[in-house]
Structure 1
Amino acid sequence: MPVKNRFAELQQDITAWRRDIHENPEILFETHRTSALVAEKLRAFGCDEVTEGIGRTGVVGVIKGKSDTSGKVIGLRADMDALPIHEQTGVAYASKTDGAMHACGHDGHTAMLLGAAQYLSETRNFDGTVVVIFQPAEEGGGGGKEMCDDGMMDRWGIQEVYGMHNWPGVPVGSFAIRPGAFFAATDQFEITLEGKGGHAAKPQETVDTTVMASQLVLSLQTISSRNADPVDPVVVSVTSFETSSKAFNVIPQRVHLKGTVRTQSKEMRALAEERIKAICAGVAATFGGTADVTYHLGYPVMVNSEEQTAFAEDVARSISGQCDEAPIVMGGEDFAYMLEARPGAYILVGNGETAPVHHPEYNFNDEAIPAGCSWWAEIVEQRMPA
């Protein structure tokens, strides 16, 4: 089954929706305009039920098939939020909001799921129920968790859930997926080192927090090189180094560090936190200072279910003839919360040779729309055949 002809017919409309969303980006849970647009279109398509305000600003639509002898309920999820980035694409439909842009393609995800919802509402060529999920705040806000915490899975009886993300560097119209751990857990840490400030000409009278912090930044890298199993990935990155002094001749009393930890297993996630705290205490004690560590647990590891991944891969191959094994991704994805709640799978659809996501020159490739929409529709029609 190649790309569905109906999506070739709808591509111009879906592209127009996508570009309208692109022009009007909204960050985190502030997706009021986007959510209203989604709800309006779902009602116009004839969805059996449209509910707003799930997970604050999320939207859920229900589409019933021609029959329901299977009793199956499948969820399809797209994210709606943008990023706090100043756009530099130069396209005619560039962001009208300074400091906000769709730099990750969520405008494309939303538009493709809307296209699939229109087709499924028109044809209803399946036996069961589809729940289309439009989620806010994927980019650090945990909107997926909020929708689950609002009781979404139980309220609509969702049994399986599927997600999709565009991927630069993968040919347009092709797919990639992997079973098991896929996207990383994303945790954060803050470290405050306290020493004894003083004049830079008299270092012997101080406890130098700059030297202490410099040693700590290097020591934290031993978690990956000496504590971790080499086949269980972990990334520890210190991304901010601030001292309490702005003068050239003052050794600061205090240094504040920030960073992130990325892991692919619960075991490594726990080990990384344990070792960061232990290394901080040890390095601070060595220099005669103290270390206060605050550790923030972020998104969990996103784990694709074996059975649903195999099915999603077969569907992708039926559309494009190609579905490669995706690499492990050390970025985070809060679809992880939905996959913790229900079995399912997350797939990558090719965006072609474009700028990477989270880059000010990134732009979703509208040529990917027919393939993405077809995958959504085929997930439903093949999983719940009429």
Structure 2
Amino acid sequence: MTIDPRISAIAEEATEWRHDFHAHPELLYDLDRTSARVADLLRQFGCDEVVTGLGRTGVVGLVHGANRTANRAIGLRADMDALPIEEATGAAYASRTPGRMHACGHDGHTAMLLGAAKHLAANRAFNGSVAFIFQPAEEGGAGAKAMIDDGLFTRFPIDEVYGMHNKPGLAVGEFTIRSGAVMASMDRIEIEIDGVGGHAARPHFAIDPVVVGAQIITALQTIVSRRLDPLDSAVVSITTFNAGSAFNVIPQTARLIGTARALSPDVRDQLERQIEELATHIAKAHGATARVTYGRGYPVTVNHAEQTTFAADTAASLIGDDKVDRELAPMMGAEDFAYMLQERPGSIIFLGNGDSAGLHHPRYDFNDAAIPYGISYWTRLVERALPQSKC
């Protein structure tokens, strides 16, 4: 692929923006510095409108094409928040805030979308409008939903919406995507077990919630292995088990916390129902009680077929069809771009980050070599989705 010299120049600037964001990570909705910097840059680029404070700290920059009366608009989304992880990259631009780092590449996502905004605001070689969406709180805060609830799709009449995420292990300059369910729903499980405490030397006078909890954990694994269709994908993981405080005392209570993931709404419903049934019935069989709180988080991320084909074809037009994998295996991680895809047709594509550490790892870093590919993809997507009329 030959990078447009104009985009190459912007990519150098975008790398500097990326390093600045990386050095100053902010979490969830507390993005005062990041969102202010994004808004300032969008204004410098000459965006026709810059809206701040959408979904608390979200930013939207609106750019009209050469024919602004064209009745069509698309949205392009990047996430801005970092993670509560201690950085171990050793990079010159490493986090200056202890316990926080950009360990998922949102600094790169933001920089690439800013680069596309700068190029498209300067050239406007399209008809219609583009909304550049910079979202807070992807990492567990449902920032996409907050922006939607705050009027994202009513204030900006967006017809389609597209996202992009980096992917470690995929070569720089390559893309991967799939139609349909691409990332899982993300739900939180909490199980409170009440037994009868007592002396550890006299277990027959107690109802041990530790034993009950252990049996519940084991039984929950049979939901995926024995109660779901083997062709359906799901995960049930208990990650926290809290009970007791002394070596010779059977505690009164125990608490289990975990997560459930699914790639379809029907399987998600089954997980919720069967977790409740197993936990309460096992506890009852031992003379204990169990209260299950099943908190629904992000929905399944579902790429729309037409827009996925369009996104893949756009990437292929840049780098060749052999560098675009259209059969990405679904992932059990979650992504709150799912909320936007429930509101508008669209698709999320994955961009190669090369041989880097995995996402959410202390040594992860976004690969700057991917920046010109990301900017080029966004630019080409807009020019193909909102083509200028030919005389």
| Secondary structure of 1:299 counterpart | coil
- Which aligned pairs between 1:239-318 and structure 2 lie closer than 5 A? 239-243=239-243, 245-318=244-317
Residue 209 (structure 2) aligns with: 209
1:240 positional shift? 0.1
Counterpart amino acid of 1:26?
Answer: E
- Give the AA of the match of 1:211: V
**1:354 equivalenced with 2:353 (yes/no):** no
2:342 counterpart residue number: 340
Tell me how far apart the structure 2 counterparts of residues 312 and 276 of structure 1 sit (CA, whole Å).
Answer: 38
User: Is the 8 Å Cα contact of residues 11 and 375 (structure 2) preserved in structure 1?
Assistant: no
Q: Does the CA-based 8 Å contact 1:22-1:94 persist in structure 2?
A: yes
**One-letter amino acid of the counterpart of residue 118, structure 2:** Q
Show the 5 A alignment for 1:93-112: 93-112=93-112
- For residues 227-268 of structure 1, the C-alpha deviation after alignment (integer angstroms, 9 at most, x for no partner) is 11111111000000000x211111111100000000000100
Question: Aligned-pair distance for 1:5?
Answer: 2.7
- Aligned equivalents of 2:274 and 2:253: distance in 1? 22
Match of 1:137 in 2: 137
TM-score relative to the length of structure 1: 0.98
Q: Which runs of 5+ in 2 are unaligned?
A: none
How large is the Cα RMSD of the aligned pairs?
0.9
Match of 1:66 in 2: 66
CA contact (8 A) 1:3 1:320 kept: no
Aligned to 1:369: 371
SS at match of 1:132: strand
State the 1:70 CA deviation: 3.7
How much has 1:10 moved relative to structure 2?
A: 1.8
Distance 1:6 1:169 in 2: 28
- The offset of 1:69, in angstroms, is 5.3
Which residue is 1:6 aligned to?
A: 6
Partner Cα separation in structure 1 for residue 261 and residue 311 of structure 2: 26
Residue aligned with 1:221, SS: helix
How far 1:68 sits from its partner (Å)?
3.6
Instruction: Quote the Cα distance in structure 2 between the aligned partners of 1:240 and 1:69.
Output: 55
- Give the match for residue 226 of structure 2: 226
User: 4+ residue stretches of structure 1 with deviation over 2 A?
Assistant: 1-5
Distance 2:42 2:72 in 1: 21
Q: CA deviation at 1:3?
A: 3.4
The residue that corresponds to 1:114 in the other structure is 114
How many Å separate the matches in 2 of 1:110 and 1:278? 44
Q: Which amino acid letter does the alignment assign opposite residue 190 of structure 1?
A: E
Gaps of 5+ in 1: none
Question: Contact 1:2–1:318 at 8 Å: present in 2 too?
Answer: no
Query: What is the deviation of 1:2?
Result: 4.8
Partner of 1:323 in structure 2? Answer: 324
SS in 1 for 2:87: coil
Q: Secondary structure at the match of 2:297?
A: strand
What's the offset of the Cα at 1:318? 1.2
Q: 1:160 corresponds to which residue?
A: 160
Q: Contact 1:113/1:132 (CA < 8 Å) preserved in 2?
A: yes
Q: Distance in 2 between matches of 1:31 and 1:339?
A: 24
Structure 2 letter corresponding to 1:156 = F
Shift of 1:131: 0.4
Query: Aligned equivalents of 1:378 and 1:5: distance in 2?
Result: 14
**Deviations along 1:213-234, whole A, 9 cap, x unmatched?**
1111000001101111111111
Equivalent position SS for 1:44: helix
Query: Structure 1 CA distance, aligned partners of 2:277 and 2:381?
Result: 47
1:336-374, CA deviations, whole angstroms, 9 ceiling, x for partnerless residues? Answer: 000000000100000000000000000000000010111
SS in 1 for 2:122: helix
**Is the contact made by 2:195 and 2:206 (CA closer than 8 Å) also made in structure 1?**
yes
**1:286, CA displacement in angstroms?**
1.2
Could you say which residue in structure 2 is the equivalent of 1:52?
Answer: 52
Alignment coverage as a number of residue pairs: 385
Query: What is the deviation of 1:187?
Result: 0.2
Amino acid at match of 1:276: I
What residue number does 2:87 align with? 87
